[in-house]
Every structure is written in structure tokens, then in C-alpha cells.
Amino acid sequence: MLDKFISLVETFSNENNMSINRQHNDTVIVLYIEKFPLTIFYNNNFITLQSGVALVPENGKEEFFKQLLILNNGLLETSGASFGFDTESDMVTLQFSCAITHVTQEEFNALLFNFIEVLAHFMQKICYNDLNKTEEHDTIPVTGIRI
């Protein structure tokens, strides 16, 4: 199954002119969207997509983390992804995990594109400080399989 993981990521990167960096006996692959890293972890037929979203603001940390927890609740607002915190980089992260046992290349591509859309959505919301401003029309435009 590790071979399938490598093949899925390499095919995606080749089709989209993105570079990759294999690490830890190929169980971690960093995919570069331009120069922006998206890390893909492989473990026992599961993958986890993870990327930094934003640094924690100096002011209003408690409210910031409260809003992230509210968004994490039920994973409905995040299209199934969840927020985390990377202590090494002091960054809020977004991650999504799923089994890849029966995932086709087309589904894997849709999964990555959807994750990138969700990531961009929250980067923008955090940048403009509007995590708590949710409206009905403010949905994340994802297609294909749900991340």
C-alpha cells in the first residue's frame, strides 16, 4: 500500500507541475504548491494531509482558539478537516485523514484539490479576522469526495 501512496502523490505532482520531497522512508511526502508546503503522512493504509494555516495572533489568543474549537465542533464548518497546532512552528494547522485502500487517482486528486480549497478559505478568513462571521452563503466550494 505504501507503493500506492507514493504513486498517487507522484502522479498528482507530475500532472500539476508541483515538486515533492520524500522523507522518513517515503512515509512522509511534502508537496509544494509553488513554495507552500503541504505535508502528506502515510501510516497503515491511512493518509493525513496537513498544512499550516496561520500564526497565532499576539492579541486575542483566547477568542482565536475559541473560534477554532467552535469550527472544529462536528467538523461541519471545516468540510471534515480539523484544526491543530504545531508546536515546532507555532502555527495553526489544518489536517484531514482518510483511508486510501480503495481510493482511485481521480478521487485522490479531488481530495487534494478540495483540501487546498478549504485551506485557502481558512487562510483568507484568518487573514481578514472573520472566523466568527459565518453566513449561509459562506460555504466552502468543494467538489468530488468530501474532505
Residues in the chain: 147
Residue 133 has pLDDT above 50, yes or no: yes
Residue 136 lies in a domain: no
pLDDT confidence band for 141 (50 / 70 / 90): very low
Q: Give the torsion sign (CA, 11, 12, 16, 19).
A: negative
CATH assignment of the domain containing 24: 3.30.1460.10
Residue 14 lies in a domain: yes
Number of domain units in the chain: 1
Residue 133 lies in a domain: no
Q: Which domain holds residue 45?
A: 2-127
Residue 39 has pLDDT above 90, yes or no: yes
**What is the residue-averaged pLDDT of the chain?**
86
* pLDDT attached to residue 132: 64
Query: Which pLDDT tens digit goes with each residue over 82-118?
Result: 999 999 988 999 999 999 999 999 999 999 999 999 9
| 56 backbone φψ class: left, alpha, beta (φ>0; ψ -120 to 50) | beta
